[in-house]
Amino acid sequence: MKHNGTLIKEDNNYKKKSKTLYIESYGCQMNFSDSEIVASILKKKGITTTKDISTADLVFVNTCSIREKAEQTVRKRLEFYNSIKRDQNPKMIVGVLGCMAERLKAKFLEEEKLVDIVVGPDAYRDLPNLIKEVEDGKKAVNVILSLEETYAEINPVRLGGNGVTAFVSITRGCDNMCSFCVVPFTRGRERSRNPQIIIKECKKLFDNGYREVTLLGQNVDSYLWFGGKAKKEFKNANQYEKNNKIVFSKLLELVAQINPLLRVRFSTSNPQDMGIDVIDTISKYNNICNYIHLPVQSGSNRILKLMNRGYTKEKYINLIDNIKRKIPDCAISMDMIIGFCSETNNDHDETLSLMEYVKYDFGYMFKYSERPNTPAARLKDDISDQIKQERLSEIIDKQQMHSLGHMKDKIGKTFEVLIEGISKKSSTNYYGRTTHNSTVIFEKDHHKIGEYVMVKINDCTSATLKGKVI
């Protein structure tokens, strides 16, 4: 109780000073979602967000470690903050949040003299205390990973959003241990968020005018909730199955049932965990978008094995065939890594042939980047940068051709589009997306952001559709 009393006193202190937070996010959607959780935790302490770095009391950067390049980007930002601190805002407190904080821990404080706070993805509730420590003249670190933390009841502050689309986090962490990936180390063990709270959050978003939610997790298909109990607490499998187990397809259905006008998306699926039940649920509900992001990483079985992906090319193709059979109009995208340890021309050809088979609608393609302490770091990163670059260019060209093909197929057809905002290029145009996640640009006319309109497509590039509301 006494402890609570102290906290309330701190509350008042924060309120009186009315501090401001400037927060930038890098990396995946989960990081952007986490920044909204951070903003919510600090808002309760009277700290509000600002877009003006030169006057902010707190400057936080939510970081990504997925590739070396992502880390370099953050280091450049830290240099920039340093210059602001030196020239304009000497009192600002700089915090490094997220995956890089988790990976480098206290080393950050030694390497980057300007950093005051280092906080990992599971320790955001501790931020008010960490800020206090810095104000008392110390440097503050909390990088403890948790087996339970899901920030379940925290209602995120929607940062810089359009008021129409929102991310809702459903799981945290990852247990898959792909050999190239730093995530299991930076985000810890996998855990699922209480479904009732997820539904409540989505309902509230809908009531506040939002028309699309994206359910987020490193591996959404392994979402699992059984009243907060561990599987081993059940005496037998039957009892466990009966105990109101909620799997991802069920959660997806519950969210889709909130309102037919609420679009539902999700990311990311893992081919080794995505079940036929998820595909069936997508095909059953009109408001679950016909778009699946299904990272494959390689088309070579030998490389998939080295990557510890838990599926073969044949199993992946079977999944794709099932998707195309059950949801004929489904857009599919992928992540691909080229130049993984020991990748031969032959392996690369297998990747090209898989791309040719699937003809993805979109693709996110990367050169392999060795991450310290991952299982793959024990293998030799033996593909030269030149070969990596050549292979990357080749798959990017192929993907662009496929993307353009899919876009061209849409010309002359009409699609339902959710209006998300005013086009960056022209203030007389809106942008929105089709169910397939294709961006469409069209004239505003009398329509409003957040409305659904039917748009007939008359032109395209490999990335954008253009059309007219009918």
Binding site for ligand 5AD (CB under 6 A): 66-67, 180-181, 295, 297, 335, 337, 366, 368-369, 371
Q: Which residue has the tokens 């060795």?
A: 370
Q: Which is nearer to ligand 5AD, 249 or 333 (CB)?
A: 333
Q: Which of 20, 33, 65, 351 binds ligand SF4 (CB under 6 A)?
A: 65
**Which range touches ligand SF4 (CB under 6 A), out of 146-154, 180-188, 349-357, 426-434?**
180-188
Query: Does residue 30 belong to the site contacting ligand SF4 (CB under 6 A)?
Result: yes
Does position 27 interact with ligand SF4 (CB under 6 A)? The reply is yes
Number of residues that bind ligand SF4 (CB under 6 A): 13
The entry of ligand 5AD, ligand SF4, none near residue 211 (CB within 5 to 8 angstroms by kind) is none
366 makes contact, choosing from ligand SF4, ligand 5AD, none, with CB < 5 to 8 Å by partner type, with: ligand 5AD
Report in angstroms how near the CB of residue 323 gets to ligand 5AD at its nearest.
18
Nearer to ligand SF4, 182 or 323 (CB): 182
Shorter beta-carbon distance to ligand 5AD: residue 78 or 376: 376
Which does residue 198 bind out of ligand 5AD, ligand SF4, none, counting CB within 5 to 8 angstroms by kind?
A: none
Least Å distance between CB 66 and ligand SF4? 4
Closer residue to ligand 5AD, CB minimum distance, 150 or 298: 298
C-beta of 66 vs 97, nearer to ligand 5AD = 66
Identify which of residues 188 and 299 has a Cβ nearer to ligand SF4 in the complex.
188
Q: Which is nearer to ligand 5AD, 67 or 406 (CB)?
A: 67
- What is the smallest separation between the CB atom of 181 and ligand 5AD, expressed in angstroms? 5
Site membership for ligand SF4, residue 191 (CB under 6 A): no
Q: Which residues bind ligand SF4 (CB under 6 A)?
A: 27-28, 30-31, 64-66, 98-99, 182-183, 186-187
